[in-house]
Each structure stands twice: as C-alpha cells, then as structure tokens.
C-alpha cells in the first residue's frame, strides 16, 4: 500500500486531499498543528475502512519536520508528499504590512514547504521513487494585494519547477496545483468577516462559482498518481476559469 503524507491535512484542501487519497486505498498520514481536528479526521477515515494516522507537526519547525520524515521512512517509507500547510492573508498595502505577519507567512508557506521537500525529497531520491505536490495559488501567477502570501506562493512556483529538474533523474516527480478562490473554512471565515466578497469572486470566474476543496483534491490526487507519470514541473490551475475570464471580461463588449 502506498503511503502519503499531507501537511496541513486537518482542514480545508489538506483534509479533502487526505480523504480522497485514503478512498483511493492509499495510507495517509495527516501532519498538522491542530491535534484535535487532525485526530478527528484520521478517526473518521479509519471508520470508513481506510488507513490513516495523525502526527502533530508545525512545518516552521525544521527539526520536527526532519524527525517526522526520519520516523516515517524508518517504518516503511513515503511515496507521496502533499505540502498543504499554509496561512492566508487579507488584502493590505505594503506600507501597512505587519512584518511579524510577513515573517510568519513566509516561515510557513514558503520555508515550511522548502524544509518538507528537503527532508522527504532526499529520502525519496535515495529510495528511487516518489511524488511531491505543492500548494501554489493564483497569486503564484498574477498580482494580488496580499504581499506576503503572494510572494510566498510565487516563490513556490519556481521551487516546484527547480525541484522537478533536480529530482527528475532520481525518478521523483514534483508538481503543484494553483487553486483559485476555494471555499475552505478559512475562506468562509473571511467572507463572514467581510474581508472577501464572494459575489465579486464568482463574477470574475468563467464558471461563475467558487472552487470546492474536493475539486482541488482531485487534481492533487491525479498529479500524485501514475496517471500523471510523465508530468513533472507543472503548476496546474484549478480556478473555475478565473485566469481566462479576468482578462476576457476586461473588454467593454464581449461576444
């Protein structure tokens, strides 16, 4: 049975991915700071007859990431790493940006993914197989009024492409998804607080709706599977057509 580790697997896209991979008969380890929620998700997956476990993890703790990778490879190995742990950011002007917030977002979104790729990737290289899927964003591809978040996700795009070239000779594939506006619990909270306008987000997508977490999980599962055996170094938008529609709708008259 293949084994997948999902950082940030206790909620949102990470949780949806853990459930999807487990349903595909892949053993999943949910690695997250939220022990209560992570244990609940793992227990629910096991109740459905699949295999799951929870391991506490803060990806901004280098030593904790290294210990987890060492432990899991010492007890059977890891075939798939999904780097879903991340922090969102509300819109803010650069000159109003709290640098403590900037440091935390970079530490989790960017540095945490780098550290996880290092710890698990070098062991995958030694084993001669593996797949890594990173969580990029539309902000990896276009401008956003989220300076820290956007910088972290843009950097992950370059890292994904670089690691694909570096790890390819060892038979390791590295890809990423770039979700559009996705209705995660964190997004719903921002909508409820008035920090995001769902009508505006929906109007700017070609499909006129938000992305669901299972839809992003489906793309991640594909990139991690043998169905994508010749795909590496790609960043796959899962955005209900936001990228294409935002430019198309800029014309005063549309066909």
Q: Which string of DSSP letters, residue by residue, matches 206-232? A: TTSSPBPHHHHHHHHHHHHSGGGTT--
Report residue 179: phi and psi, to 5°.
-65, 145
> Does 149 qualify as catalytic in the annotation?
yes
> Which position among 149, 167, 181, 248 bears the catalytic label?
149
Buried b (16+ CB within 10 A) or exposed e, 169-205: eeebbbbbbbbbbbbbeebeebbeeeebeeeebeebb
Residue 18 CA to residue 34 CA, distance in Å, equals 15
Whether 156 and 135 have beta carbons less than 8 Å apart is answered as yes
- Residues with a known catalytic role: 149
């Amino acid at each position: 049975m293949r084994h997948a580790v999902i950082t940030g697997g206790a909620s949102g896209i990470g949780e949806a991915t853990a459930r999807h991979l487990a349903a595909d008969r892949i053993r999943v380890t949910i690695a997250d700071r939220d022990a209560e929620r992570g244990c609940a998700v793992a227990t629910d997956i096991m109740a459905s007859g699949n295999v799951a476990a929870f391991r506490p993890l803060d990806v901004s703790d280098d030593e904790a990431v290294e210990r987890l990778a060492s432990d899991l490879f010492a007890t059977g190995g890891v075939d798939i790493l999904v780097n879903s742990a991340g922090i969102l950011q509300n819109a803010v002007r650069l000159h109003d940006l709290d640098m403590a917030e900037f440091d935390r977002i970079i530490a989790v979104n960017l540095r945490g993914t780098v550290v996880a790729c290092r710890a698990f990737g070098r062991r995958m290289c030694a084993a001669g197989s593996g797949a890594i899927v990173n969580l990029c964003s539309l902000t990896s591809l276009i401008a956003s009024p989220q300076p820290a978040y956007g910088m972290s996700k843009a950097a992950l795009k370059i890292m994904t492409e670089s690691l694909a070239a570096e790890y390819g000779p060892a038979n390791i594939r590295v890809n990423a998804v770039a979700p559009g506006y996705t209705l995660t619990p964190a997004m719903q909270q921002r909508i409820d607080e008035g920090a995001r306008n769902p009508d505006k987000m929906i109007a700017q997508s070609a499909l006129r709706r938000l992305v669901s977490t299972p839809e992003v999980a489906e793309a991640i599962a594909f990139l991690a599977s043998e169905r994508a055996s010749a795909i590496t170094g790609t960043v796959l938008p899962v955005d209900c057509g936001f990228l294409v529609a935002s430019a198309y709708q800029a014309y005063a008259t549309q066909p």
